[in-house]
Chains A and B, each alone.
Chain A
């Protein structure tokens, strides 16, 4: 039985009322978080939200003020070495050893983990040129350093990859390569804990996201479910040759509002699954010349959950989502208000 098999149905990461205080400042506030085995989990939050503090506690760099952390079935405060043996870390904002080459950093990880990886293969996999891999790391650009750190993280086929802002400094090719590596790693069963503030990137790779705000976990779910929870849904627009008096959308519960601008009808849906019903209804009553569909962006969800968008401080995310939709120019039946 493999270690991975042992972890079936167990959380790869499990925190229970995890708290970290620095003097009077509570950086992480009673965090209850479960990251399932084999998923790509996006950990979102603004700078200072507590993301890096949480990661530092997951690896034993920081001791929790209160609460428990289990990573890969190990209590981190007692068995952090066992955790690090099976974890690959790409830390944020650190300087590598200036006089060691990229290849030597990777070799160091191979030796420390007693792994049998070929450092050159790992460096090739992350796109660090052989000539660059043999240069001192002090001359590396941020992107080259990220690639080197990713190669270090991949040593020993870790069960858990903790990637803290892995896209920072990467060019588009590097970002695409990162996505490919994450996909490959999850296919072999690894769990990926992906901390980032680049929401577009998170949306592309993560199965679920957790949103941290002021040390508190304000949301955890799939992005689709978060959209539904906020009734953020999607926006459907259709350009018709002629706009009928009755749009036929009043029978669709998920349509929150409809706006007509010249020949373009725009329908706000609280449920993304209602998009096709809207289009079919419009097509039944007129000739659709063009369509546009836009799901609520993760950025919009993030702003609403963290209260950093146009959301009022006392509003619930759902209220904020409702208010953030365009003006309700017409009722779903096409009549003006």
Chain B
């Protein structure tokens, strides 16, 4: 009952701001452009999904930042939280509703963008888009959106100042994305592990390194998209190079587990902190 009330209020309050419209518009425009522009270089729309997956990997967490970082911290900063928690709503119900509300908007943004991408692909490519591949891609992308939303809402629940929430969310994005995958030059997870292991005089096996790499939700997301290209990787060398692993940590179930675990664990930590937070 209380989750539903807080959820309804938050959805209404968020929906009427420009944030929801902005998130959906930005995702839709970029996905439409990527799918459309790829048509000039590729014959099959699934190739565009690969480029969209990298766009989501790099940009989706940033695009949903304005939707998530103030989910709880904004209410604490403005005092609006006293409306919700002055009523007989528990903090667990409040946080759950916030996550579901913001996660739903993120998922809707991803799915609307992909529907538009599918429509663009229908007209732009010589070969019709495979709806099953789009559905599969939509499913893992939605899971990725829920994972990052969970992490960001959790960070929001642990802070009471807007600036700290923003700093925490941006830091989490860089650590779990560019840093973890090695996009950042010189300082990234790989170079730090190399430095530590050489200092200690130990060597990590490729399998251990692969496992560590797979523990980020962003990397897990990229790996999880392999099943979208089922049946075509053998004919597409460039795509296949990105999915060469056959270890358990490259499988869909493991990657889905990693994404889900990040949301669940960070939200649990966030709740433990928020449960005793001073709201004065």
Contact = CB atoms under 8 A, between A and B. Distances in A.
A94 B276 CA distance: 21
Nearest to B89: A112
Interface stretch (A58-66, A201-209, A260-268): A58-66
A212 B78 CA distance: 26
Given A61-B280, A104-B12, A111-B5, A81 B90 contact: yes
B82 A108 contact: no
B200 interface: no
Contact of A152 (B15, B83, B89, B276): B83
Nearest to B78: A95
Interface stretch (A83-91, A248-256, A269-277): A83-91
Interface in A85-122: 85, 89, 91, 93-100, 104-105, 108-109, 111-114
B79 A91 contact: yes
Nearest to A94: B79
A56 B12 contact: no
Nearest to A95: B78
Given A97-B13, A100-B13, A111-B1, A91 B279 contact: no
B251 interface: no
Nearest to B276: A63
Given A53-B280, A63-B276, A81-B90, A99 B82 contact: no
Contact of A98 (B13, B82, B278): B13
A214 B13 CA distance: 39
B87 A136 contact: no
B187 interface: no
A112 B87 contact: yes
B9 A104 contact: yes
B279 A108 contact: no
B80 interface: yes
A14 interface: no
Contacts of A111: 1, 4-5, 8
B38 to A, nearest CB: 38
Contact of B88 (A63, A93, A95, A113): A113
A114 B9 contact: no
A155 to B, nearest CB: 8
A15 interface: no
Interface residues of B, number: 29
B83 A113 contact: no
A52 interface: yes
A84 B280 contact: no
A292 B190 CA distance: 88
B241 interface: no
Main secondary structure on B side of the interface with A: helix
Most buried by B among A53, A93, A105, A109: A109
A95 B13 contact: no
Contacts of A105: 83
A192 B190 CA distance: 63
Contacts of B278: 61-63
B86 interface: yes
B75 to A, nearest CB: 8
B45 to A, nearest CB: 38
A89 B80 CA distance: 13
B88 A81 contact: yes
Nearest to B16: A99
A76 B86 CA distance: 13
A97 B12 CA distance: 10
B17 interface: yes
Contacts of B2: 112
A39 B201 CA distance: 75
A244 to B, nearest CB: 62
Contacts of B85: 59, 61, 84
Contact of B78 (A59, A94, A108, A136): A94
Nearest to A152: B83
Interface in B233-280: 276, 278-280
A108 B79 contact: no
A54 to B, nearest CB: 10
Contacts of A53: 280
Nearest to A101: B12
Contacts of B87: 84, 108-109, 112-113
Given A99-B16, A100-B9, A93 B79 contact: yes
Give the top 8 A-B pairs by smallest Cβ distance, nearest first.
Answer: A94-B79, A99-B16, A112-B87, A89-B86, A95-B78, A61-B279, A56-B280, A85-B88
Given A62-B279, A108-B8, A111-B1, 5 more contacts: A63-B278, A85-B88, A97-B83, A99-B13, A109-B87
24 contacts: A53-B280, A59-B86, A61-B82, A61-B85, A62-B279, A63-B278, A81-B89, A82-B88, A91-B79, A94-B79, A97-B9, A99-B13, A99-B14, A100-B13, A108-B5, A108-B9, A108-B84, A111-B4, A112-B1, A112-B2, A112-B5, A112-B87, A113-B87, A136-B16
